[in-house]
Amino acid sequence: MNKILPVVLSGGSGTRLWPLSREKFPKQLLPLVGDQSMLQATVARLDGLACLGDPLLVCNEEHRFVVAEQMRVLGKQGKALLEPCGRNTAPALTLAALWAQQQGGDPVLVVMPADHVILDGTLFRETVLKAVTLAEKGLAVTFGITPDCPETGYGYIQQGSPLADGSGAFKLARFVEKPDHETAQVYLDSGSFLWNSGIFVMRASTWVKALESCRPDILAACRDALQKGSEDGDFIRVDRVAFENCPSDSIDYAVMERLMAKQAGLPEGVVIPLSAGWSDVGAWDALWKVLPKCDLGNSVRGDVLLEGCRNTLAISESRLVACVGVSNLVVVETDDAILVAHHDATQDVKKIVDRLKADKRSIAQWHRKVYRPWGWYDGVDAGARFQVKRIGVKPGAALSLQMHHHRAEHWIVVSGTARVTKGDEVFLVSENQSTYIPLGVRHRLENPGIVPLEMIEVQSGSYLGEDDIVRFEDTYGRN
């Protein structure tokens, strides 16, 4: 058996799960079901399979440090292939397949979106092994989810005749777009339609050869981007200009839907039905369906009190949330936003995010607490010409050597010890001590200790935006 290479696609933004999911910290990085993030759960999903290689994650360049930290916490080795911009799933898989071929051999790629839930991991792994056996024969395999309701939020796959090998796989008959409710009911009643899972299993060479026939323009652009790129530790960087010139397309549109035409040179496409508690958690109602519930259908997390409620999802991140006499609602509280939505309208949360983006409100992209490679900061208060932040710096970590044109900063150490560079001075600041960084002075904050450093920063000045940073040196390669 060829080595199995898990390819985890982590490029989504999860706007329908706002306000927990934000563009700069999307749903796949959050622990929505269980203690692990959805990304961590996806990477760990294949644990125990024979011939399993280290995972290859394809993610947005802006998420690279959070992804790397989550893999470190999980105890996983692997590479992160960084996309400088989004070009949909076909280019993402193409970069992964080309990189895999560069390493030698021809691994079987198990391609999984990072933002899916699968409750029955044992059954999923058993199904993956069936798919790997077919993929080794040159087939392009996808999983179809056995539907249990007339869902209108998913695309569908119609299964054709079964393969004669007893694998439980079926030939692909056709792909169909998201249907209306009446059509979805017809699909459900027929028994021959499956939900399109977006999970694929095939050799790297199978995908590349198929793309040569179906989308040579995507293949050429990805080859160019990868050849002009570079590797930086566990990060694989592709050339930005070359990748920006790559056409955008999905795996389904670029290749899978064309396999049914049986064009010469294309692999055979097959689908394996899967009933393993799958959900793409595309909106709040979908998350509610997969979470544990009480006898009244309520699911809660955090400091929540319910009285006389049914079928309610209530999540508290920072404050008490109390709901009385409501049904079929989603209530989500974070430290900077509150969402209240009916189950039937959760798809429209994206419209709220679109309006926030149109108004250029950062709350669409950022949480109040923002993670950085050196730690985090939390914007606790702001007003005219001032801003207050809590800052946490990991042991041994350091911020960039930097300066600001428009603001001065006061630093008060709450716990731990800070090493401060201020102009030509370098000195330590301990608990209950403070220092002042004047406007225009080069400075750096470091944690030389073995315990986390926490401090309060008070900024004052005419402009307090995060883009007022001039970096002179940076451990993490940021501009």
Task: Output the CA torsion 266→271→272→275 (10° steps).
Answer: 150
> CB-based contacts of 245: which residues, under 8 Å, 6+ apart?
221
Q: Are 309 and 296 in contact (CB under 8 A)?
A: yes
Tell me which of 3.40.50.720, 3.40.50.10310, 3.30.950.10, 3.90.550.10 is the CATH number of domain 4-279. 3.90.550.10
Q: What are the tokens at 237?
A: 């960087």
CA distance 23 to 362: 10
DSSP state of 405: S
Which own/partner contact pairs does 98-101 have at CB distance under 8 Å and 24+ positions apart? 98/204, 98/208, 98/222, 98/223, 98/226, 99/56, 99/226, 99/236, 100/5, 100/56, 100/204, 101/204, 101/205, 101/208
Q: What is the pLDDT of residue 261?
A: 67
DSSP state of 238: P
Count the neighbouring beta carbons within 10 Å of the beta carbon of residue 151: 17
CA distance 352 to 22: 12
CATH topology identical between 4-279 and 369-473? no
Q: Are 256 and 247 in contact (CB under 8 A)?
A: no
Least Cα distance to 418 among 399, 405, 404, 402 occurs for 399
Q: Are 434 and 412 in contact (CB under 8 A)?
A: yes
CA distance 368 to 381: 10
Question: Which amino acid type is present at position 24?
Answer: K
CA distance 138 to 140: 7
> CB-based contacts of 123: which residues, under 8 Å, 6+ apart?
274, 275, 276
Can you tell me which residue has the tokens 């979908």?
286
CA distance 87 to 218: 10
Can you tell me which residue has the tokens 């798919």?
131
Q: For strand 140-145 and strand 269-274, is the pairing parallel, antiparallel, or unpaired? A: parallel
pTM exceeding 0.85: yes
For the domain 369-473, what is the CATH superfamily, name and number? Jelly Rolls (2.60.120.10)
**Domain locations in the chain as residue ranges:** 4-279, 284-354, 369-473
> pLDDT truncated to tens, each residue of the chain (479 aa)?
459 999 999 987 789 999 999 999 999 999 999 899 999 999 999 999 988 999 999 999 989 999 999 999 999 989 999 999 999 999 999 999 999 999 988 999 999 999 999 999 999 999 999 999 999 999 999 999 999 999 888 899 999 999 988 889 999 999 998 899 999 999 999 999 999 999 999 999 999 999 999 999 999 999 999 999 999 889 999 999 999 999 999 999 999 988 876 776 788 999 999 999 999 998 999 999 999 999 999 999 999 999 999 999 999 999 999 999 999 999 999 999 999 999 999 999 999 999 999 999 999 999 999 999 999 999 999 999 999 999 999 999 999 999 999 999 999 999 999 999 999 999 999 999 999 999 999 999 999 999 999 999 999 999 998 889 999 998 887 76
CA distance 159 to 168: 11
* Per-residue b or e along 412-440, where b marks 16 or more CB atoms closer than 10 Å to that residue's CB: ebeebbbbbbbeeeeeebeeeeebebeee
Can you tell me which residue has the tokens 């899916």?
116
